[in-house]
Amino acid sequence: MKKAILLAIYMTVITLISGSILFYMNNLTLPLIMSQSEKEQTVALSKVLPIAHSFEKKDETTYSGLTKEKKLCGYIFNVKPVGYSGEINMLVGISNGKVTGISILAQTETPGLGAKAQEDSFQQQFIAKSIEDAFEAKKDIRAITGSTITTKAVADGIKTAIASYKKILETKE
């Protein structure tokens, strides 16, 4: 009985020490992780709306792009369409009625097939497309071979962003 109590005390002390070390290390690295995350976010925002000098978060899914003079130059929308293997987290930039860029932030598509949506060669085809285009795979956009579902999901994400952009324009009028 005495051995069991001592063992429980030792285990409790070891657990408390380990937990304290983990807590300390988490607090030590958290600012670095947050800083790196903000840098990555800024790079992604700059990629999809390159004419913007700074960005202002409007809500959970929308950013305003601002020039050096702090004038509105476009919008960025965070959309999450569902592809073949799950959600595709992406940013879509729109300015003056044209798509200025897209960036896939996270995806779980099949490596070698749907994951090709992250390649610049696929994403470049959307730049400068009018928001009035159909954004349909195999019609006005080049589909990823063997991954039509992913291509359609990316196109759906862009359509969602366009709908949000048009809604913003309507409320301004």
Task: Output the DSSP codes for 103-115.
Answer: EEEE--PPTTTGG
Strongest mean pLDDT among 110-119, 132-141, 153-162: 153-162
User: Domain range for residue 4?
Assistant: 1-42
pLDDT in tens, 62-91: 999 999 999 999 999 999 999 999 999 999
Distance between CA atoms of 5 and 28, rounded to whole angstroms? 34
Overall number of domains in the chain: 2
Domain co-membership, 86 together with 33: no
- Six token digits for residue 131: 């928001």
Domain co-membership, 70 together with 8: no
Domain co-membership, 101 together with 150: yes
Domain co-membership, 30 together with 58: no
